[in-house]
Every structure is written in structure tokens, then in C-alpha cells.
Amino acid sequence: MVERPFTWGVELVPDAPIDELTTRAAQAEAAGIEAMFVSSHYDNRDPFTVAAMVLAATESMRVGPGVVNPYERHPVTLASQVATLADMAPGRTHLGIGPGDPTVLGQLGLADRRDLRSVLEAFEVARRLWTGSTVDHDGRFEATDVRLNYPVDGPIPVYVGGEGPHMCRMAGKRADGLLFNGSHPADLRWAREQFDIGRGDRDPAAGESSLYAYASVSIDPDADAAREAARPPVAYITAGAAAPVLQRHDIDESEVAAIRSALAAGEYGTAFDKVTPEMVDAFAIAGGPSTVADRLGAVRELTDGVVLGAPLGPTPDVAIGKLSELL
């Protein structure tokens, strides 16, 4: 049960030197950010190492990986990595877990492993390990007579990242929150419907579950520069969007297929160039301060909180300052 649901969180992409990342984290904490999710991609710095450094550089902000998947590392190992962060900073750790980015997992030969059951089994086993239990598990993964050899100061909140209907419902029923990968009101209203279906089947003893918009945000006084900076994350979001989502925004699936193909081939510049203004409007909150303020206000009306996702802006440190003024 989460004792302290957060309202404002931020994604930290570990694509800069460690000292820059810890400085950015401290700046975010000073701006009123309550939670930080360190993103996990093989081509960036290790999220657990960075999360540990961020915990050491901050005082109260909750920090953890997000969103990790249960395929690149064994779920029991994942549970211990998160528990180690909790051992370092009791009460300040969380786990963000989901099925992973299909494009990136495709590069690792893991795309066909993506499913809801793997995510659910991974965090349910983790929860049992965190309570000191010895666990046997035979499902999407195997574990025999496993336990942690150290106590875990819990509970550790678990947030599920996803956007499909079943993942949204599962998060409402079983997790401490849903990190919905979207920011458009039409998508969030739909997500709320799915999430609330799951919450209707939730065990009352489990406490509340919260809906968060994990929203790609790009803010800058130069609105055009902010929208340009949003192209890379929007390319990945668009490539992973399901057909009903694309139809909701009248986005041509042939244009999306071209982005997917370019990303899969490692032609990132080509993929980003193929992002249209309509895609940016659908999958990001990008523009000048007044535009971002209005969009964030609309998002807050439909959710329990927001995770400010990459890129934040053309210059992330400047963007955090601008966002702090809005928060």
C-alpha cells in the first residue's frame, strides 16, 4: 500500500555524465518534483547505478527505475536491484515496470517476449521477496527456492507502464499506479475508463491505485524549438502506438510504418524527420510556457498526477526551471 502517492514526477534519461544527472535531479527536487523515474535503455547509462547516485544527491524525492522490463534481466535479479535502492534510502524507492519498447526490444531479439503476464508475475514475485518470503515460481519465468538475504524496508510502490486496455485494467486492479504513456485528453479519458474497470475489482486491503500521465513534455520560450526537440520521443511513442490510438488521432498508419522501419534500421534521423506536427500534438505537450501550462492543466483534470517525460525541452536544465515556475 502506498502511503504517499505523488502528484508531480519527472523522467530522468541517463544520457549525460553522472554529475550532470545528479545536478539535474537536485534541481528537479528543488522545483517541487516528488518522484523521479530513471529510464532504462541499453544504449544509456545503467538506471540502477544512476538511481543510487540520485538518491545520494537528493533528500526526499522518491527515485527508482522506470520503466524497466522483465526480459533484459531476470525478475528475481530485478527485485533485488530495487530492494538494494530501498536499503540505501528507506521509503524513497519505487519500481516502474512495463512490457518495454517494442523497437528497442526488437534490437535485442526480445520483442516476442512482451506480454502482460510477464509484467504481472515479475512484480508479484518481487513483492513476495520484499516481504522476506522464500519463493518458487513457474510461469513466464522460473525461480526455485529463491529469497533475499537481507531485510527490505517496505512497502515499495509498483507502477505499471503501458497503454493497452488490459495493461491499464491490470494496473488498476493489482499495482499501485498506472504510468499511462500519453498526454492527450482523448487518450487519457479512455485510459481512465479502462483503469477504473480494474480498480472496480481491486482488493480493498490493497489501498488505492493512481492514474498518472507519463507525458512527453518539451517547453521553451521558443515554441518551435520545443516542438522540434519533441520529435525523437514522439517517434518512439508513435511507433509503439496501437492501431486504435492512431485511428483516434487520424494518423496515417503508413506514415507510422515508415517511422518503425527507420527506427528498426537504426536510421534515427530519418525516423525523427518523419514525425508530423499532428503526431507531436497527439503524443507530446510541446511549445511555449503558456501552451504547456494549459495542456498540463487539462491533463491534471483527468489524472491523479503527471510524470514529466523526455525531452523536457531543448535544454533540460533550462526546461526544469521553466516547469518549476508552472508547478
- Report residue 2's pLDDT band, with 50, 70 and 90 as the boundaries: low
CA atoms within 13 Å, Cβ hemisphere of 66: 31
- Over residues 192-198, the mean pLDDT reads 98
pLDDT tens digits, one per residue of 293-316:
999 999 999 999 999 999 999 999
What is the model's pLDDT at position 3? 59
Report CA torsion sign: 106, 274, 253, 262: negative
* pLDDT at 326 (0 to 100): 86
Whether 156 and 79 have beta carbons less than 8 Å apart is answered as no
CATH code of the domain made up of 8-224+285-326: 3.20.20.30
pLDDT band at 111 (very low <50, low <70, confident <90, very high): confident
Distance CA 241, CA 209 (A): 24
Render pLDDT for 144-187 as a digit per residue (tens, 0 to 9). 999 999 999 879 999 999 999 999 999 999 999 999 999 999 99
Q: What mean pLDDT is predicted for residues 277-281?
A: 97
Per-residue model confidence (pLDDT) at position 105:
83
Give the torsion through C-alpha atoms of 259, 261, 262, 264, to 10 deg: 120
Q: Give percent above pLDDT 70 in the chain.
A: 99
Residue 103 predicted with pLDDT over 80: no
Delimiting residues of CATH 3.20.20.30 domain(s) in the chain: 8-224+285-326
3 vs 69, residue with greater confidence: 69
Is the model's pLDDT at 113 over the cut of 60?
Answer: yes
User: pLDDT at position 167, please?
Assistant: 95
**pLDDT single digits (tens) 53-87:** 999 999 999 999 999 999 999 999 999 999 999 99
Q: What is the mean pLDDT of residues 3-19?
A: 91
* 242, burial (CB in 10 Å: exposed 0-12, middle 13-18, buried 19+): exposed
Q: Distance between CA atoms of 29 and 61, rounded to whole angstroms?
A: 6
How far is Cα 327 from Cα 307, in angstroms, rounded to an integer? Answer: 12
Query: Whose CA is closest to 184, among 302, 72, 101, 18?
Result: 302
What average pLDDT does the structure give for the chain? 95
